[in-house]
Amino acid sequence: MSKFSVAHGQQGEHDMSMIFVNDAIMPQAGVGYLVFRIAFCETLERITLARQFPTSPQDGFGFLTEVPFLANVSPAVQLDLLAATWERHNSVHPVEASLMDESVIYAACERAAWCLENESPSIIKRYLQGGPQIIDWSRLEKWAEMFRKLHLGVSADADFLLISQFEDMPPFVAAEIKEEWSVNPSRIEPLFEALGEWHPSPEMRNRLSGLLTKREVELVSDQFRFPVVAE
């Protein structure tokens, strides 16, 4: 089972995020921003549309559906989980990533790649326009490939994709296989907890710095009716 941590470093005059995978440094630079922002904005847009049409499904969508075990996590909670991983991704100190972080990174990469392959460029540009980072569009046709290479670098073992296999097994069989695969139960627990959550935490807005602009964070806060923060 691989372990990776998230840190924040410097490259010349520009900040560069780096993921450490078994002591191998994997710079993400702007790719990580693109992945997280596209996954966040696409899921948020689908939440907004679902609310406008109450007869349409209110769940069963969102970027985390790329991980079968997490497919039924509330879409709003998915955004909260993405924001939490994004915050750790930008930590100024090395942070050991959780299995949930690995799940979020994998799902965000896969969903963003799907959007690149199935949506028009105008939709991708809508997700990214007005964001806090300047976008270089010159390699747009290569983005999907870049996104998948990113998650292969940080989650090659993909233990989170195996968890759904345990659901239909007798407990003693599942326990034996978990031990054989070195699956730590404490790393799995947050994934089960996410299935029982229905509302995002107000702390989500404090975790979106660098991913959304201040105005965008305000709009998200209004949409999810987070308490107003006193100036």
Please give the model's pTM, rounded to 2 decimal places: 0.84
| Residue 99 confidence (pLDDT) | 86
Domain boundaries along the sequence of the chain: 31-223
Q: Which residues of the chain have pLDDT under 70?
A: 1-29, 154-159, 162, 164-183, 229-231
The DSSP annotation for 79-131 comes to: HHHHHHHHHHHT-SS-EEPPHHHHHHHHHHHHHHHHHHHHS-HHHHHHHHTT-
| Residue 174 confidence (pLDDT) | 58
pLDDT digit string, tens, across residues 29-45: 588 899 999 999 999 99
pLDDT digit string, tens, across residues 104-154: 999 999 999 999 999 999 999 999 999 999 999 989 999 999 999 888 876
Place of tokens 């326990």: 175
Average pLDDT score over the chain:
81
Please give the Cα distance from 81 to 74 (Å, whole number): 10
